[in-house]
Amino acid sequence: MEINQKSLTARRIRISLFFFFYGFIFATWASRIPNIQQQLQLSETKLGAVLLAMPVGSFITLPFSGLLTSKIGSRKVVIGASSIYCFVLLGIGLSQNVGQLTVCLFLFGSSGNMMNIAVNTQALELEKLYNKTIISSFHGMWSVAGLVAAALGTYFIGRAFPVSSHFLLVAGISLLCFILCSPYLLKEVLKKQEKRPLFTKPDKAFWGLGIIAFCSMICQGAMFDWSGVYFKKVVVAEPAFIGLGYTAFMISMTAIRFITDWLTQRIGFKKIIVCCGIFTTAGLLISVFFPFLLPATIGLLLVGMGVSPGVPLVFSAAGKSKILPAPVAIAAVSSIGMIGLLIGPPIIGFIAGLTSLKTSFLILSFFGAGIIVSALSLKNQD
């Protein structure tokens, strides 16, 4: 497929916008969870149970998403999933009881997962045309969207802006953007694939990449849910600085994704992943052995630098597979990584309950070391 440079740039911008609004919708929902909890009068226990619907929906549809995308093309799946994602966000905002919210969150996880697999396939198809690594910059746009949505959510919460109106606004803008950008999505050439069962475990060739995704995402999930608690209870930060570690983590994770492609082209995939493991391990150890405001903040900043490149680069490596279609390959490593994201926060809480939060963060550092070991064991990777 011959595409000139101007057309490539136009497509890259539009696909970046798909990543941005995909992240924007997700972070918009996350920013209003406390308000939804209050509106539906949910206890922490009930809220935790309801929130499980989203990862369950995501995990159940992982194998199906990869096979569907490889069969009908990522373009059609992106268009369909992005539209559903917008409407489901509005449904969440309009939910009047636990049952409605649970169903909406299940659909939110399902459609979000399909969007994730398909839009990453689009990024990999464009990466082939560029003939260089560019996927991390797309994930950077997703992270930027999270920061923007969090800021907007804080603004609306401060002005008591209704959740339903907030979600309607975001869903409407996002849907309009998706419609305008859809003509720029790539139409990949679909190859006839051998028949495979709907639910399959990943091929052995992907276990190394999957373990890297698992270790990265278990640390990432732990930072999302526990960094603020760590700064409150272990670092004993002043109330105004409790979120400092999480902020440092998010900023470094976002920034590094915009230079990861450039770095990968110069020093190679394997060295980048080894550095990911080193930064993640070092950052966690610093926060454990020096639990004071400045060093702990630096520690979580390093963790952000460490976990940032892992998932996009693993997706890129899996997408180059000669064994499986790109969408199925992405779904395979994503399945393993998703387990890490799901079990990370509960494991931290369980270990903290038995021992201490410092001990749980210390154990988490071993997953950073796991990234190093897995990267060094990979074959046929630059």
CATH label of the domain that carries residue 127? 1.20.1250.20
**Residue 110, pLDDT above cutoff 70:** yes
Q: In terms of domains, do 103 and 233 share one?
A: no
One domain for residues 173 and 292: no
Residue 207 three-state SS: helix
| pLDDT surpassing 50 at residue 198 | no
The average pLDDT across 120-144 equals: 88
Return d(Cα 28, Cα 163) in angstroms, integer.
10
Q: Tell me which range, 35-44, 159-168, 334-343, is most confidently predicted by mean pLDDT.
A: 159-168
User: What is the average per-residue pLDDT within 345-363?
Assistant: 83
Q: Is residue 189 part of a domain?
A: no
Examine the domain organization and report whether 208 and 166 are in the same domain: no
Task: Give the separation between CA 352 and CA 358, rounded to whole angstroms.
Answer: 8
Whether 382 maps to a domain, the answer reads: no
Angle at 170 between CA 168 and CA 173, to 5 degrees: 105
Residues 94 and 157 both lie in one domain: yes
The conformation of residue 205, written as its DSSP 8-state character, comes to G
Note whether residue 194 is domain-resident. Answer: no
Q: What is the pLDDT of residue 71?
A: 85
Question: What's the rounded Cα separation, in Å, for the pair 222 and 249?
Answer: 11
Say what the pLDDT of residue 381 is.
61
Query: Distance between CA 273 and CA 280 in Å, rounded?
Result: 11
Best mean pLDDT range from 23-32, 41-50, 54-63, 319-328? 23-32
In terms of domains, do 171 and 211 share one? no
Residue 62 pLDDT exceeds 60? yes
> Mean pLDDT: which of 39-53, 202-216, 242-256 is highest?
242-256
| Residue 344 counted as domain residue | yes
Contact assessment for residue 149 and residue 24, using Cβ atoms and an 8 Å cutoff: yes
User: Within this chain, do residues 218 and 168 fall inside the same structural domain, yes or no?
Assistant: no
* HSE-up (13 A, CA, CB side) for residue 162: 9
pLDDT recorded at residue 207: 80
Residue 199's pLDDT band (cuts 50, 70, 90):
very low
Q: Say if residue 221 is in the same domain as residue 362.
A: yes
Does residue 60 fall inside a structural domain? yes
**Rounded distance, CA 21 to CA 44, Å?**
29
5 SS3 class:
helix
Q: Which residues contact 377 (CB under 8 A, 6 or more apart)?
A: 208
* Same domain as 138, residue 41: yes
How large is the average pLDDT for residues 73-86? 94
Whether 221 and 174 share a structural domain: no
The pLDDT of residue 196 is 52
**Is the same domain home to 55 and 171?**
yes
Query: In this structure, are residues 135 and 124 in contact, taking their beta carbons and an 8 Å threshold?
Result: yes
| Mean pLDDT, the chain, whole residue set | 85
Is residue 193 one of the residues assigned to a domain? no
Both structure tokens of 76: 């059609």
120 compared with 240, residue with greater pLDDT: 120
Q: Is 162 among the domain residues?
A: yes
Number of domains, the chain: 2
Please give the pLDDT value at position 283: 96
Widest pairwise Cα distance in the chain:
60
Q: Does 304 map to a domain?
A: yes
Lowest mean pLDDT among 137-141, 267-271, 304-308, 331-335: 331-335
Give residue 84's domain range.
Answer: 5-183
Length of the chain, in residues = 382
